[in-house]
Amino acid sequence: MNDQTVSRQTFDEVMVPCFSPAPFVPDRGEGSRVWDTAGRDYIDFACGIAVTSLGHAHPELLKVLHEQGSKLWHIGNGYTNEPVLRLAKKLESLSFADRAFFANSGAEANEAALKLARRVAFDRHGEQKAEIVSFTQSFHGRTFFTVSVGGQPKYSEGFGPIPQGIIHLPYNDIEAAKRAIGPQTCAVIVEPVQGEGGVIPADPDFLKALREACDAHGALLIFDEVQTGVGRTGTFYAYEDTGVTPDILTTAKALGNGFPIGAMLTTEALAAHFKVGVHGTTYGGNPLGAAIAHKVVELISDPAVLAGVRTRGEAIRAKLAALNERFDVFNEVRGKGLLIGAQLNARFAGRAKDFNAAAANHGVMMLIAGPDVLRFAPSLIMPEADLNEGFARLEKAFEDVAGAR
């Protein structure tokens, strides 16, 4: 077979089968539209799982890609580079942080955060203070450590003994957190909005209780903002709107708008525990990724863009309410900004994939968050015309699944 002739079937012939991709193959994108190899267009409400937050082929990002790509792609961490230093300064100016560590993904950022927390506890208190507190239905990545810390056992089962010293508590349960967090706790890791777990926002009082418990017992509070960060919820980082400041924050997904980059942000005092050789990365902080991410951060941190996130979020909620008025499919719509989850009611329990497939049939790319939740995470600058067209197509998809009413 000619190795240049490929199709969706080729995936089944050459790829490890840990994914089950859609039957069509996306070929190119512009803004909030994607075209497949057959030339059919789709409205993109998925953003590559909350990644392409400035849409596809953004002209200013393409300019940076070409400029930096012609200068220096990679140099390794035996050297520093100007783009990564500019990016670190920019992220620190927009957050509580004094120090940044760059990696390639959210999982690696979380791995660094968890390792740093354990190292800090070891240096300050000794090896007995090593317990990590996480929450049921949380998701923190697919490395063995992060998948074990994540609160969905299905992702860690079948891989042998999991790392010790990890406990999982109910999300938004203040009393359970107060009982569990103690002298043995080195860190608490929490998503301000659980993404994969169903798009469930944290109660601000719950986050405040975690902060107080960590302070009382000398534990570190880690906010996993891999999905909520970089403007997704309507502030640059979601913690800004909670009244709680973490000790460590992780960020990825939208940070590179599709170019792989993640970061762990923390304070000077905590960062000092990662001395030379204690942690590392080969590709993390490479000049090409850092230059692109700097432009992403510059564009998304614009107050007008962040205000637009909130406005678009309200527009999507209104359109979901109109769909529900007609089809009676949701019992709750929740989330923040442009991270929105629509929970299917009992009539359609377990059928999120059916809605997702029907949407694709009518030219809409969207996400699910478990078997019962439709997830919307479109571009933060999605044009109104595309948003309207996407929902006109979704109405036809809903007719297929829920029946005309």
Residues in the annotated binding site: 106-107, 139, 142, 224-227, 281-282
Q: Which residues are annotated as a binding site for N(2)-acetyl-L-ornithine?
A: 142, 281
Which among 36, 224, 247, 386 is annotated as catalytic?
224
Instruction: Count the alpha carbons within 13 Å of 360 in the hemisphere toward its beta carbon.
Output: 16
**β 131-135/185-190 pair status:** parallel
Both tokens assigned to 293: 């991410």
**27 membership: H or E segment, kind and range:** strand 26-30
Q: Where are the beta strands (DSSP E) in 238-365?
A: 248-251, 262-266, 330-336, 339-344, 364-365
Q: How many CA atoms lie within 13 A of 337 on its CB side?
A: 31
Q: Parallel, antiparallel, or unpaired: how do β-strands 220-224 and 185-190 relate?
A: parallel
State both tokens at 89: 């300064």
Q: From 198, 234, 252, select the one nearest 338 (Cα to Cα).
A: 234
Integer Cα distance of 374 and 21 in angstroms = 17
**Catalytic position from the list 223, 236, 247, 253:** 253
Positive or negative torsion for Cα 306, 308, 314, 316: negative
- Of 358, 339, 360, the C-alpha closest to 402 is 358
Q: Among residues 101, 102, 139, 145, which one is catalytic?
A: 139
Q: How many CB atoms lie within 10 A of CB 134?
A: 25
Residue linked to tokens 């239905």: 137
- Collapsed DSSP state (helix, strand, coil) of residue 389: helix
Active site residue 224: yes
DSSP structure string for 169-219: E-TT-HHHHHHH-STTEEEEEE-SEETTTTSEEPPHHHHHHHHHHHHHHTP
- For residue 376, the surrounding DSSP H or E stretch is strand 373-376
**Contact criterion met (CB below 8 Å) for 43 and 363:** yes
Q: How far is it, in rounded angstroms, from Cα 63 to Cα 65?
A: 5
CB 248 within 8 A of CB 214: no
Give, as one character, the DSSP assignment of residue 257: T
Is the separation of the CB atoms in 342 and 330 below 8 Å? yes
**From the annotation, which residues make up the binding site for pyridoxal 5'-phosphate?**
106-107, 139, 224-227, 282
- Catalytically active residues are 139, 224, 253
